[in-house]
Amino acid sequence: MKTETTIQGLTASLSPARSSRKIIGFVPTMGNLHEGHLNLVREARRLCDVVVVSIFVNPIQFGPNEDFENYPRTLEHDSHLLAEVGCDIVFAPSVEQMYGHKPRLTNISVSDITNDLCGLQRPGHFDGVAVVVTKLFNMVQPNFAFFGQKDYQQLAVIRQFVRDLNIPLEVIGVPITRATDGLALSSRNGYLTEEQRKTAPIIFQSLKEAEQQLKQAVNLAEVLENIKQTLTQAGFIVDYVEARTLDLDKIEVFNQDVVLFVAAKLGTTRLIDNLQVKYTV
């Protein structure tokens, strides 16, 4: 496995794969890798000839009071994990390498779907993601790019700008990887205290409970309120509990698959999760 820290180095490492028309798979990450990331890499390995993983903590997707400075940087450990799952190239650029020294005057902003859910609580976040992912796509020029469904809204934003801007690659969404107690794996789980870690799986439990209630034809608004109450009673500060269509539209008709979304804080750690369920009455 090679590690590249410059765009030039990355281009040189990818050149043989490009000239022999190998299928390039790409997994963008911010490092501090866990099984969820490794499953993205395994999926890339399964479908592609060459697998590139980027590790870059992207400053422009963090809000002023978010955890950019403290976000764990664990390149050495991440590299060991990536070598074990068959990654070919790790791209770990510096902020200067990604953004240069001159001011960036271009933004990429996806409307509508970003004015909802996490977009309301994290202004500018998805623009920051769209910019860095577009830059990475241009650097790696992959055939396939892999993203986790835990960040469902992020995945929708990426699919949208890839389609709108005719970026020539296919985006693959990979199902959420969960701990045995149901907690969706996330780099931010590492911020939880021992006590909070025991409480955190209640998010997934409340989503599964909601699925059961919907099967018993409980009214959707009531189901969402029940999740909110369960989480509040368990000590979460609930950011939102919402249901949307698979395309993130408001739900106006019954008898379709919908996605239930939760964002809630335990102490200072914000956790998100989602579950696709049937909504029939």
List residues forming the annotated binding site for beta-alanine: 61
Residue of 88, 151, 242, 273 interacting with ligand PAF (CB under 6 A)? 151
Annotated binding site: 30-37, 61, 148-151, 154, 185-188
The closest of 32, 37, 103 to 68, measured between CA atoms, is: 32
- Give the amino acid at 204: F
CA atoms 206, 211, 213, 217: torsion sign: positive
Identify which of residues 61 and 143 has a Cβ nearer to ligand PAF in the complex. 61
Positions in 5-34 near ligand PAF (CB under 6 A): 28-30
Residue 29 to residues 38, 60, 102, 132, Cα–Cα distance (Å): 10, 14, 25, 11
Residue of 38, 87, 129, 260 interacting with ligand PAF (CB under 6 A)? 129
Annotated binding site for (R)-pantoate: 61, 154
CB of 129 to ligand PAF, least distance (A): 5
Task: Say which of 37, 80, 101, 125 is annotated catalytic.
Answer: 37
Query: If you search the block for the tokens 């599964």, which residue do you land on?
Result: 208
Positions in 59-98 near ligand PAF (CB under 6 A): 61
- Give the amino acid at 164: D
Identify which of residues 106 and 216 has a Cβ nearer to ligand PAF in the complex. 106
Instruction: For residue 272, give every residue at least 6 positions away whose Cβ sits within 8 Å of its Cβ, in sequence order, or none.
Output: 118, 150, 151, 184, 186, 261, 262, 263
CB of 133 to ligand PAF, least distance (A): 5
DSSP state of 85: T
The Cα 60–Cα 42 span in angstroms is 28
Annotated binding site for ATP: 30-37, 148-151, 185-188
| C-alpha triplet 51, 159, 257: angle, nearest 5° | 115
The Cα 121–Cα 101 span in angstroms is 29
Identify which of residues 155 and 179 has a Cβ nearer to ligand PAF in the complex. 155
- In the residue annotation, 37 being an active-site residue is answered as yes
Identify which of residues 130 and 227 has a Cβ nearer to ligand PAF in the complex. 130
The closest of 158, 141, 172, 101 to 10, measured between CA atoms, is: 141
Examine residue 157 and tell whether it contacts ligand PAF (CB under 6 A): no
Residue of 113, 118, 133, 202 interacting with ligand PAF (CB under 6 A)? 133
CB of 144 to ligand PAF, least distance (A): 15
Task: Please compute Rg for the chain using Cα positions.
Answer: 19
Residue of 41, 48, 51, 58 interacting with ligand PAF (CB under 6 A)? 58
Residue of 132, 139, 192, 202 interacting with ligand PAF (CB under 6 A)? 132
Phi-psi region of 14 (alpha: psi -120 to 50; beta: other; left: phi over 0): alpha
**Where do contacts with ligand PAF occur on this chain (CB under 6 A)?**
28-30, 58, 61, 129, 132-133, 151, 154
Q: Which residues are catalytic?
A: 37
